[in-house]
Amino acid sequence: METKSNIPSEIYEAILNNLHDDKESLVNCALISRQFTYRSQRLLFKRVVLDSPFQRSDKASSVFSPAETFLEAINHSPHLCRLVVDLQISDQRESSDPEWTYSEANSWIRQDLAIAKILPLLSELENFSIIGHGYLGRLNFNCWTEDLQSAILSKIPALRTLTLDWIRNVPLLILSNIPHLETLHFSNVNFNTDFPPAVEPLNTTKLTNFYYNSHSSSDWPTLYPWLQSENCTVNLKQLTHISMIIDTPMEATAEDVHSMSQVLRGCANTLKYLHICFSSNSELSSSI
């Protein structure tokens, strides 16, 4: 029989908060006492990472799918959905097989059916990240199931932070309705250049943080024209933090340099932090 502790809740909550990065201890605390369960679960499920399925070392014939397992967990315990604030979908897992080579065509996200069911259930989600594998191949947004694409686009309006990393063919529609967005992280992202329809009434986003990184000179031209269009709902004039790193062997065009200068000039009155690196062209610094 469980004995109720007389310890003030503030004390054990402070102790549990200090264990925020020790998942094993948090699980044990949740099992020890009901008093610890809710706080432990909040810390355990605040940030969830769903990466590719993998072969379990203890069961040679068993494949473990983090996405399917998480879906089962929140279907069994729906209250866990409200605890998730930060969700990351990742395709970065490596294989121990020496003959294994990454292929985006075989990405688990293309075949996955669980994520599209998970996203609508996360009512308190604020931070969302999709991370591709890297140099061996960008994720292809167009090749994901229609259900997954729709689930992602439906969840975007509630977000405060959006991170996209190593993805191509991302629809600009993803930026057309983001009234609460404060921070954008784009790393090696290529957009579908078809402009989305105008949103009425125009609900303009006032970003404060913009982080952009690319190893290809063709990425920025897929984004900037939309940012400067009349129908764009992303307001870059209130930025306080900017980091722009474009590391490419090709020279930047005069139009690219001018467009980046325009971004910086537009937020000159609010900017507090600036990190800018254009490895192959020194013209940018002289044009600001």
pLDDT computed for residue 5 by the predictor: 59
Which residue, of 122, 152, 182, is where some domain finishes?
152
User: CA angle 260-135-166, nearest 5°?
Assistant: 55
Q: Are 23 and 56 in a shared domain?
A: no
Q: Judge whether 133 lies within some domain.
A: yes
Tell me which residue of 73, 8, 7, 4 sits closest to 34, measured CA to CA.
4
Q: Which helix (H) or strand (E) holds 58?
A: none
Q: Are 134 and 165 in a shared domain?
A: no
Q: Are 206 and 278 in a shared domain?
A: yes
Q: Judge whether 246 lies within some domain.
A: yes
Q: Are 284 and 171 in a shared domain?
A: yes
Q: Judge whether 1 lies within some domain.
A: no
Q: Are 132 and 256 in a shared domain?
A: no
Which residue, of 124, 152, 180, is where some domain finishes?
152
Q: Are 169 and 193 in a shared domain?
A: yes
Q: Are 184 and 166 in a shared domain?
A: yes
Instruction: Name the token pair of 254.
Output: 């005069």
Q: Judge whether 83 lies within some domain.
A: yes
pLDDT computed for residue 105 by the predictor: 87
Q: Judge whether 237 lies within some domain.
A: yes
Query: Which residue range(s) make up the domain with 58?
Result: 46-152
Domain count, the chain: 3
Q: Are 224 and 275 in a shared domain?
A: yes
Q: Are 286 and 180 in a shared domain?
A: yes
Q: Judge whether 134 lies within some domain.
A: yes
Q: Judge whether 2 lies within some domain.
A: no
Q: Judge whether 260 lies within some domain.
A: yes
Which residue bears the tokens 């982080």?
211
Do the Cβ atoms of 23 and 49 come closer than 8 Å?
no
Rg of the chain (C-alpha set): 22
Which residue, of 136, 152, 168, is where some domain finishes?
152
Collapsing DSSP to helix, strand or coil, 251 comes out as coil
pLDDT computed for residue 255 by the predictor: 83
Q: Are 206 and 143 in a shared domain?
A: no
Which residue bears the tokens 């293309």?
110
Q: Are 134 and 248 in a shared domain?
A: no
Q: Are 32 and 53 in a shared domain?
A: no
Q: Tell me the β-bridge partners of 212.
A: 186, 244
pLDDT in tens, the chain (288 residues): 455 556 666 666 666 665 566 566 666 566 666 667 777 778 888 999 999 887 666 555 567 899 999 999 999 999 999 999 999 999 987 666 666 678 888 899 999 999 999 999 999 999 999 999 887 789 999 999 999 999 999 999 999 999 999 999 999 999 988 889 999 999 999 999 887 776 665 567 779 999 999 988 899 999 999 888 887 888 899 999 999 988 876 666 778 888 888 999 999 999 999 998 876 554 554 445
pLDDT computed for residue 95 by the predictor: 64
